[in-house]
Amino acid sequence: MAVRHFLSLLDLSTEELRHLIQRAMQMKVQQREGIPHASLAGKTLAMIFEKSSTRTRVSFEVGMQQLGGHALFLSPKDTQLGRGEPIEDSARVLSRMVDAVMIRTYEHEKVERFAAYSRVPVINGLTDLEHPCQLLADMQTWFELRGDIAGRTVVWVGDGNNMCHSYIHAAERLGFELRITCPEGYDPDPLILASGGRSVHMVRDPMEAAEGAHLIVTDVWASMGQEQEQSARRRAFGDYVVTSELMARAAPDALFMHCLPAHREEEVSTEVLEGPQSVVWDEAENRLHAQKALLEFLLAWDTQRLPES
């Protein structure tokens, strides 16, 4: 029986990604209208957290409940993974007991190793290399508010981190132009950058990058595990702040997104974060609906067809 994993946005074809976005939008309407959609009744998701999170845990846990299933929260101190059991052994055992596994960790290689030995779908809830679940929510938010993103211009402001990498992959799959503006020394991974081809451009000047853009996106300057670099990063990223002045360079109806948590007056001004162009709260809510669509898709894959929408 085929098993589908979701370790990267590139694990989905363009057709599949567009299907998931539409299915997530449909599930959101169903939830708000009280229409049952318990497509995963009797299914169990194991959630392994080496990196803590608010949005990831709540969205997956609540999502499984709304789909009629159950979620198990597993921290390193609660499992043998935290006591040195090989990842391969944990994968073999867990995947005989649950129907899917979500992992939020540091090294991307960990989720790849786990998936290689798992009998059930493995989901990348976040690694230092990629954050594909967040991109599902971001793209759902755009499609809800502005329609298709193909042909539009997106600007990434700040560190060439896991979110930046997943935006590069989204540009590949959905056909938008991505401008990345970051200080030298903080560029995205060169192989991932190259994979974006003509869809992706590096622009050092953030004001120049924002010119005429339809979506501006940023993230914190120092992610979890980089706290010791905070001072150096604050100096390096001083010119890479999403302000009202920067948003004024974008298209009049441009949107602002941030995966949260945000550091006000660092990577984004309070005025922008709380302003009318900001859709960060819709974006955060859509983690729930996008991940429900993803779970349904992965757990229905043994039928070899897209779930009906």
What percent of the chain lies above the pLDDT cut of 70? Answer: 94
Q: Which of 23, 287, 289, 291 is catalytic?
A: 287
- Is residue 169 part of the annotated active site? The answer reads no
3-class state of residue 105 by DSSP: coil
pLDDT for 84 equals: 77
What confidence category does residue 1 fall into, taking pLDDT thresholds of 50, 70 and 90? low
pLDDT for 224 equals: 63
pLDDT for 9 equals: 98
- Residues 6 or more apart whose CB falls under 8 angstroms from that of 276 comprise none
Q: What is the pLDDT of residues 176-187, one digit of tens each?
A: 999 999 999 999
78-88 mean pLDDT: 78
Which tokens sit at 188? 């995205």
- Is residue 259 part of the annotated active site? The answer reads yes
Q: Which of 99, 138, 159, 219 is catalytic?
A: 219
Q: Which of 164, 233, 259, 289 is catalytic?
A: 259
Residue type, 294: L
Whether residue 308 is predicted with pLDDT greater than 60 in this model: the reply is no
Q: What is the pLDDT of residues 120-141, one digit of tens each?
A: 999 999 999 999 999 999 999 9
Whether residue 92 is predicted with pLDDT greater than 50 in this model: the reply is yes
Q: What is the pLDDT of residues 141-190, one digit of tens each?
A: 999 999 999 999 999 999 999 999 999 999 999 999 999 999 999 999 99
Q: Which of 23, 104, 152, 169 is catalytic?
A: 104
What confidence category does residue 304 fall into, taking pLDDT thresholds of 50, 70 and 90? very low
- Residues 6 or more apart whose CB falls under 8 angstroms from that of 166 comprise 8, 9, 130, 131, 132, 134, 135
Q: Which of 55, 99, 108, 134 is catalytic?
A: 134
Distance in angstroms (rounded) separating the CA atoms of residues 68 and 75? 23
Distance in angstroms (rounded) separating the CA atoms of residues 214 and 52? 32
- Is residue 187 part of the annotated active site? The answer reads no
- Model pTM greater than 0.75? yes
- Residues 6 or more apart whose CB falls under 8 angstroms from that of 62 comprise 288
What confidence category does residue 302 fall into, taking pLDDT thresholds of 50, 70 and 90? low
- Is residue 148 part of the annotated active site? The answer reads no
Whether residue 306 is predicted with pLDDT greater than 60 in this model: the reply is no
pLDDT for 227 equals: 65
Q: Which of 6-15, 29-38, 75-84 has the lowest mean pLDDT?
A: 75-84
Distance in angstroms (rounded) separating the CA atoms of residues 280 and 288? 14
Q: Give the total residue count for the chain.
A: 309
Q: Which of 5, 108, 131, 179 is catalytic?
A: 131
Whether residue 36 is predicted with pLDDT greater than 60 in this model: the reply is yes
